[in-house]
Amino acid sequence: MGIIRRAVLHSRPGKNSEPVAENFFVEEANLPDGIAEGQVKVQTLYLSVDPYMLDPELVDGHLSYFLGAVGMPGLTALFGVKEKGHVTPGASQTMVVSGAAGACGSLAGQIGRLEGCSRVVGISGSDEKCSILVSELGFDAAVNYKRGNMTQKLREFCPAGVDIYFDNVGGDVSDVVLSQMNQNSHVILCGQISQYNKDVPYPPPLSPQTEAALRDKNITRDRFLVLWYADKHEAGILQLSQWVREGKLKVRETVTKGLENIGAAFQSMMKGGNIGKQIVLVSEE
């Protein structure tokens, strides 16, 4: 038997009280030396402590939201829109979001609206997703990029052109959006998932024609990483939590049960099998 140490939550801070170190204690436990077939042995190198560990109330008990709407994807959507979107309330801006039914995209469109865009249009890979974007998540319109004439549909849904483009996908979809962007408009370069299976640098090179259009129209297209805004994460989580609890930010999840299905869940998400955040449920609370 090997001796291990484990940190255990001993007590919760009382109502309106601050957490203290004594809420946790460290105890020793025995771990068998050998491991059986099908088991793995892991060693913890680092642990994180985060504001949201204090209070499941932040998500009204939906702990998985910390992986999505009130976690990294939510912060990505929030900081992308706030830091790179140049949203100006009252300016009648149209925002387009690609990957719009995914974890980041479904939130980015809603946040664009909350921040002041007057029109929000999503692009996603199925009619079902498009219908959910409009009927549940408050998008004004949505285009299925796998069906019909996307160029024409987008022109129809964005009659005044595109002012802000939250780009999750890159590739052909983005070329169409970029061709309909207005003078002095802004691309929020969140990700380029359509290019991730290709051996290209990040961000992948644009066609000379698209490069020229960006230059001629003075379109900004800045990269950003959610990790760059670590100093704003706590405030961001509180903002997202508030919007979720007020019902202003609607949350969608696709839950796959069982650790053994993590590979299948990843493969499915990369092919568009998810609506909202793809979660793997490992054990019931």
Q: How far is the CB of 52 from ligand NDP (least distance, A)?
A: 18
Tokens of 172: 């052909």
Tokens of 236: 């961001």
Residues contacting residue 5 through CB under 8 Å, at least 6 positions apart:
26, 27, 28, 29
- Does 64 participate in binding ligand NDP (rule CB under 6 A)? no
Q: Are 161 and 193 in contact (CB under 8 A)?
A: no
Q: How far apart are CA 80 and CA 236, in angstroms?
A: 12
- Does 97 participate in binding ligand NDP (rule CB under 6 A)? no
Q: 280 phi and psi, to 5 degrees?
A: -115, 120
Which of residues 70, 78, 81, 104 is near ligand NDP by CB under 6 A?
104
Q: How far is the CB of 165 from ligand NDP (least distance, A)?
A: 13
For residues 253 to 282, the per-residue mask of contacts with ligand NDP, x marking binding by CB under 6 A and - elsewhere, is: ----------------xx-x-x---x----
Q: How far is the CB of 135 from ligand NDP (least distance, A)?
A: 17
Q: How far is the CB of 105 from ligand NDP (least distance, A)?
A: 5
If the CB atoms of residues 138 and 171 are measured against ligand NDP, the closer one turns out to be 171
Q: How far apart are CA 197 and CA 86, in angstroms?
A: 31
Angle at 60 between CA 58 and CA 62, to 5 degrees: 100
If the CB atoms of residues 55 and 127 are measured against ligand NDP, the closer one turns out to be 127
Furthest-apart CA atoms within the chain: distance in Å: 70
The reply to whether omega before 203 is within 30° of 0 (cis) is yes
Q: Is beta strand 94-98 parallel, antiparallel or unpaired with respect to 162-167?
A: parallel
- Does 188 participate in binding ligand NDP (rule CB under 6 A)? no
Q: How far is the CB of 148 from ligand NDP (least distance, A)?
A: 15
Binding part of the chain for ligand NDP, among 13-21, 28-36, 48-56, 184-192 by CB under 6 A, reads 184-192
Tokens of 181: 């962007």
Query: Amino acid letter at 169?
Result: V
Which of residues 96, 117, 162, 193 is near ligand NDP by CB under 6 A?
193
Which of residues 66, 125, 157, 186 is near ligand NDP by CB under 6 A?
125
If the CB atoms of residues 54 and 72 are measured against ligand NDP, the closer one turns out to be 72
> Residues 194 to 233: which contact ligand NDP by CB under 6 A?
194, 224-226
Q: How far apart are CA 116 and CA 89, in angstroms?
A: 4
Q: How far apart are CA 54 and CA 58, in angstroms?
A: 9
Which of residues 187, 190, 279, 280 is near ligand NDP by CB under 6 A?
190
Q: Is 208 buried (19+), middle (13-18) or exposed (0-12) by CB count in 10 A?
A: exposed
Which of residues 105, 109, 112, 236 is near ligand NDP by CB under 6 A?
105
Question: What are the residues binding ligand NDP (CB under 6 A)?
Answer: 73, 76, 99, 101-105, 124-126, 129, 168-169, 171, 173, 190-194, 224-226, 269-270, 272, 274, 278
